[in-house]
Amino acid sequence: MMLQIGDQFDHFQINAHLAQGGMSDIYTARDLLTGNEVVLKIPNQMVSHDPALRERFQRELQVMKILNHPAVQKGLGSGHFNRMPYLVTELVEGRSLRDWITHEAPIPPEQALPIFKKAAEGIAYCHDHEVVHRDLKPENILVTRSGQPVILDFGLALTREGRRVTFANVTATPGTPDYMAPEQIEGQRGDPRTDQYALGTILYEMLSGKTPFTGDNPMAVLSQHLAGVLPRLDKEAPGISPQLAAVVAKSLQKNPDDRYATVRDFIQALDHPEQADLSLLKESSPEGTGIPFFRSPIFMVTAAGLIILLAVIVVIVVLSQTARVP
């Protein structure tokens, strides 16, 4: 049951309901012990009944305990109340990167790059601590009035100790289609280069006002990530140099081995675009990651659904014919 303004949950008094995510209800609350305003994440009913989602919530609890960086939302603590786990994080006053892109993109490089590089430094810090976010998108980045980006939502984060979550009620390809790397779509767990791909997509969107791969539905977008030719950023956005376009293009290579070795290498390349490999801007057929689309989980799930649908249609037809026999 959703908490109401003024309700008390453990030693927190609810101020407002911020959002309802796939795993949690998120509130602003006042800590009655300290008087501080905080964010309270409480698992929803789906989590309590789904072992995979419960595992992911527990993973976020673990991740927030080990990260401490200006570009990462701070975890302040966790606890249990009425046998329900909860997470307490800092309250970040800021504007979402999604809102900024929606209202102001394309954003000039001199404005976009300083913010982006701070966010990328935060992700590099996460990688130093063996945490891969795996769900980077503009909605998960807030920008404060001082220009400090803060990365949120580590519910899909991968840690070295974290076991793979493959329960039936959870998709085999966690993430958001517009920002998913090809290896994620193919069912691989992902690594720091997977976050780099999402960062490259975000920067492309900041500079051009649109993501590099689009489609009429999520399946079409995923297919473009796997096999589509990357549109040249300098052709899609005014004022973008071929050198900067090539830097972004390298972060968006289909094969993870063809991207920068680390996110810090990506940042360094942004600082020295004159060293970029302009051959990356050639519009040729992209090299994939080695797993054909017909073997990917997305294709298999779709094919299985079509087979089931066809079987149901056949059964209906047979039954209707049988019913007509005198």
Annotated catalytic residue: which of 10, 25, 135, 195?
135
Parallel, antiparallel or unpaired: strands 158-159 and 131-132: antiparallel
Q: Supply 3's token pair.
A: 């908490």
Can you tell me the distance from the alpha carbon of 206 to that of 148, in angstroms, rounded to the nearest whole number?
A: 16
Of 164, 177, 184, 159, nearest to 221 by C-alpha is 177
Q: Is 99 a known active-site residue?
A: no
Asked if 169 and 50 touch (Cβ cutoff 8 Å), the reply is: yes
Can you tell me the distance from the alpha carbon of 40 to that of 10, in angstroms, rounded to the nearest whole number?
A: 11
Residue 252: burial class (beta carbons within 10 Å; 0-12, 13-18, 19+): buried
DSSP codes joined into one string, 178-208: GG--HHHHTT----HHHHHHHHHHHHHHHHH
Asked if 73 and 150 touch (Cβ cutoff 8 Å), the reply is: yes
Can you tell me the distance from the alpha carbon of 43 to that of 24, in angstroms, rounded to the nearest whole number?
A: 4
Can you tell me the distance from the alpha carbon of 74 to that of 143, in angstroms, rounded to the nearest whole number?
A: 15
Residue at 112: amino acid letter: A
The residues assigned a catalytic role are 135
